[in-house]
Structure formats: C-alpha cells, structure tokens
Amino acid sequence: EKGGYDHFMLKEIHEQPEAIFDTFRGRLLSNEAMIKLAGVEDNMKKFLAADRIIVVACGTSWHAGLVSEYIFEDLARIPVEVEYASEFRYRNPVITEKDIVIAISQSGETADTLAAIKLAKSKGAFVFGVCNVVGSSIARETDAGAYTHAGPEIGVASTKAFTTQITVLTLMALRLARAKGTLSSSEFRHHLIELETIPSKVEEALKSDAYVQTVADIYKYATNFLYLGRGFNFPVALEGALKLKEISYIHAEGYPAAEMKHGPIALIDEQMPVVVIATKKGHYEKVVSNIQEIKSRKGKIIGIVTKGDVSVKELADHVIEVPETLECLTPLLTTIPLQLLSYHIAVMLDKNVDQPRNLAKSVTVE
C-alpha cells in the first residue's frame, strides 16, 4: 500500500507531480486558453461583486491560504484576508453578504474550520470550499467548491494536499483575473502554459533527494532551525518549519526574511541552520543581503535557489536547486526540498514519520 516507499509521507511527496496534474486535469485548458472550474463559473457574479475574500483554515491549509493571498491579490487584484479558523470563529468578525469566504481543508472535517464556515454563512457570506476528501463535512457545508483531487493523504504531515490546494487556488485566481481583465490574454495564456509545466518541474525538484539527505545528515542534531522567505515564499518558510516541528520534534520557526532584524537575528550563531528560500525574481537581491547578514553572524545557510544560481551559491553552506518558473508558481517547487528535508531528518532521528506523537490526521475537536 506504500507503493515501495518506506513511509506514506515519502510516497505522498513523490506523488505530487501526478497529484498536481490531476488537480488541473479538465480544468486547465491551455489550447483553448481557458480555465473551467464549475464552482467558480456558476457563481461568477458573486465573485466579481465581492469586496474581499476571507480565507479560513488551520495548519498547513492555512499556509496554503497565505500563499493564495499573494496570488489572488497579485493576479486578480482582490483583497484577501487569511484567518486562523479558531480565531475567526470566536472574534465576532465583521462579515457581510459581500464577502466571499474560502475554507481550505484537506480532511474536510476540521472542527474549527467547520465552525468558521457556519458562522460566515449565518452572516450571509458566500462560502467556497477547497477540500480533498470528497463528501466530507466541509464539502457538504459550503455553498460551492473545488476539490483538490490529490488522492488519499495518509501521512499525518500534509504534503500533496498543500501543493494541490495551492494549485486549485491558483486556478481560481487565474480564472478571476481573466474575468476581471487584470491579466491580459497573453499573460493569462502564459500563466496557463507555465502551470502546465509544474508537474514535470516538481519531478525535477524531487531529484534533489540524495543531496537533501546529505544536508539532513549534517543538521539532524540541531535543536533549532530558522526558515526564511519573502513574498510568495514567506508562507512556504512557515510550512517548512511546521513540517520539521511536527515530524522530527526539532524546534523551528518560519519568518519573513526581512523581519529577522527585528528580533530573531539575535538567535543566530554557528549552531543555527537557516533555510533561506532565495529563488530568482522573488526579491532576490534583498534575500541575498539577508543571507549576508546571517553569514556575518556565522549561521549555517541552506539556500533553496533557482537552477543555475550564482550569488547565493557563493555565500551559502549548501544550495538546493529548483527549476525556474513564474514567481507566483515558485511555492509549488520550493516546498518540495523542505518536505524532503524534514522527512529525512525525522527518519534519521528514528521518529514515527507517518504518525507523529500527539497529532491526529483530522482534528475534529477544537
């Protein structure tokens, strides 16, 4: 059932090229320059009239929501707020009929997310679900939705659910961008063509596995890790840190790279591995100067870079390459080595990768 892999998590990491393909199959029609998402199409008026989108989710799904904030705002120019479902539901939030709430959940059973949906509906908002499990409570409770079609995710640490959630949300943003005219038809077409190449680029990113293992071996006894990223890749830094925490039990924190000098830089010494997402285009020069700041404090730098990178290579202790793509699609690639890094460290530390202590696959109690 693990398809020859030692753990479900590793199997699911390797399933991502196919899972992402399944997510856009029949929806991304690049020849016709179209995106078809029934749940969006049927409610286009509501989407176009919306003042803003509020995303509610927990954990990894919340991180996918944060990535979508950058994508929706950049491509479709719709203001987005991303909320922890558990905070939103108890905050007496301001919600109106002109709001669209997107609930993101792999399991479709997360108690806080479900309660947030019920609250939003009671205030008249239109609620759209992005779920993986077909027929789940959240899928049923929402007014419309789009499934991720990632297939069953068994490992407690979410991997392919995350990248397929980002894929669905990107399709939505692109469809709305086209309807609103915030992308020209040639830009739109270019995005579709690039998105179509992502499965093969994920495949290529997975080839860093052997090198990631050597990096994992060097840092497996570290007691703290920092993960830094900017823009579209800031949420990926948060997700990388969460993956490491939950399966290896190593303390890790994700930060927007520029926030480092407002506090966390005090933590950096020669014991501290710092994973920095430094792909080209994504504020590259600024991230390079953040890397210099870490280096001058003797931190150990693991850079996630675009293939062919030169500047980060000169500064970093290790670099892991991912293929080049459009900036807004980079999270789908930069996530891959971070999943592999946490996986290998957890295996080397002999932790229960698929069922980490204290965690459950779906959190049906608040």
Give the type of residue at 132. Answer: N
**String of contacts with ligand F6R for each residue 99-138, x by CB under 6 A:** ------xxx--x--x-------------------------
Is 168 among the residues that bind ligand F6R (CB under 6 A)? Answer: no
Is 60 among the residues that bind ligand F6R (CB under 6 A)? Answer: yes
Is 362 among the residues that bind ligand F6R (CB under 6 A)? Answer: yes
Burial of 31 (0-12, 13-18, 19+ CB in 10 A): exposed
Nearer to ligand F6R, 248 or 290 (CB): 248
Q: How far is CA 100 from the centre of its chain?
A: 21
Whole-angstrom distance, CA of residue 327 vs CA of residue 70: 11
Whole-angstrom distance, CA of residue 230 vs CA of residue 236: 9
- Closest Cα partner for 309 from 331, 287, 342, 337? 287
**String of contacts with ligand F6R for each residue 243-282, x by CB under 6 A:** ---x------------------------------------
User: Is residue 104 a contact partner of residue 133, using CB atoms and an 8 Å limit?
Assistant: no
Q: With CB under 6 A as the contact rule, which of the stretches 54-62, 282-290, 301-309, 330-338 interacts with ligand F6R?
A: 54-62
- Closest Cα partner for 99 from 147, 133, 143, 130? 143
Nearer to ligand F6R, 141 or 246 (CB): 246
Instruction: State whether residue 296 is helix, strand or coil.
Output: coil
Q: How many residues bind ligand F6R (CB under 6 A)?
A: 16
Q: Under rule CB under 6 A, which residues in 228-247 are in contact with ligand F6R?
A: 242, 246
Nearer to ligand F6R, 240 or 282 (CB): 240
Largest CA distance in the chain: 55
Minimum gap (Å) between residue 67 Cβ and ligand F6R: 13
Whole-Å CA distances, 21 to 47, 133, 279, 328: 25, 17, 23, 17
Q: What is the number of the residue whose Cβ is closest to ligand F6R?
A: 59
Q: With CB under 6 A as the contact rule, which of the stretches 16-24, 37-45, 57-65, 273-281 interacts with ligand F6R?
A: 57-65
Instruction: Report the interface residues with ligand F6R, using CB under 6 A.
Output: 58-61, 105-107, 110, 113, 156-158, 242, 246, 362-363
